[in-house]
Amino acid sequence: MGRIVVISTGGTIASRWQGSGFAADADGNEVIATAPLPEDMTVEVVDLFSVNSPRLTTAHQLTLLRTVHEVLADPGVDGIVVTHGTDTLEESAFLVDLHHHDPRPVVFTGSQRPMGTADGDGPGNLYDALLTAATTRGLGVLIAFAGRVHAARGTVKTQAVDLDAFADPSRELLGKVGFGKVTLLRSPRRPAALPLPAMPELPPRVDVVMHHADADPVLLNAAVEAGARGIVLIGTGAGNATPEIVEAVRAAVARGVLVALTTRVMAGPVTEIYTHGGAVDLVAAGAVPTGTLRAGQARIAVLSALLATDDTAEQARILRESLTPAGPVLVEA
């Protein structure tokens, strides 16, 4: 099975009762001890941090990204598993995927129930992630959860507490795990990997603003005034808002703010259909449509573009390219 490195970051899979609720406090070795290991596998642990994932910052995520690259610098490593809280797992996994150029897998997993519970899902999820990391190649960053394997790109948390917590609402399932075997159902499509960014002293601010009935540009303008270098606008329908918000987007772009357009609808792409404040006008004003990426991952794509360069035109180009997957990747069993 080879040599797998587990990077532990906390989350429910590392959580125990604190008197009034659960919180992450177990280290990686304690988490690993809860799960059976696939035969003939060597597992090493990197204790990166142990926090509930809603508390993660850009600095945490960039530290995780750099740690993944440092681990893979060792040619003797066959794959990586990242144990992570489910609340922001989709964001961290996508950040690593945007910068992942190695055929060796990075597999994220976690749990919906705390460690030590009789019906806990952490041990099974961890076993599946280890097996996936040991037996797949060339698929980019993956998420193994509840017997399913997902591509990081497009996969979001779709259940608040149920065990089968993750899915890509716009695409078919990537694979399944069962009876000690990983079965792949399709190959993901990914753009070329972005270079590893530097660790900024102060990460760029990227805010998220949602459109709704009666919405006005107040919050979008407030984000610009607060120093946001990037904004994700969550439109309605296929990515629509109002003429007033279109003008606010135009003004923000003129000030050098990178604006991405997604939708609050669960599945389907942002599409330029409507005018009078719709996606047609928003894109014309400078917003970059994010396809089927939803807000959390769209924000990560904007962040990566901002970290890549200070040139605003180049940032928009990088964002567009990161949103456009190339052909299917080669799957190496």
The catalytic site residues sit at 12, 86
- What's the token pair of residue 313? 């035109």
| Backbone torsion region of residue 22, taken as left when φ is above 0, otherwise alpha when ψ lies between -120 and 50, otherwise beta | beta
Residue 183 host element (H or E) = strand 181-184
Label residues 261-274 b or e (16+ Cβ within 10 Å = b): bbbebeeeebbbeb
Find tokens 């795990």 and name the residue.
177
DSSP assignment of 205-262 = PEEEEE--TT--THHHHHHHHTT-SEEEEEEBTTTB--HHHHHHHHHHHHTT-EEEEE
CA-CA distance, 297 to 292, in Å (whole number)? 10
Helix (H, G, I), strand (E, B) or coil at 72: helix
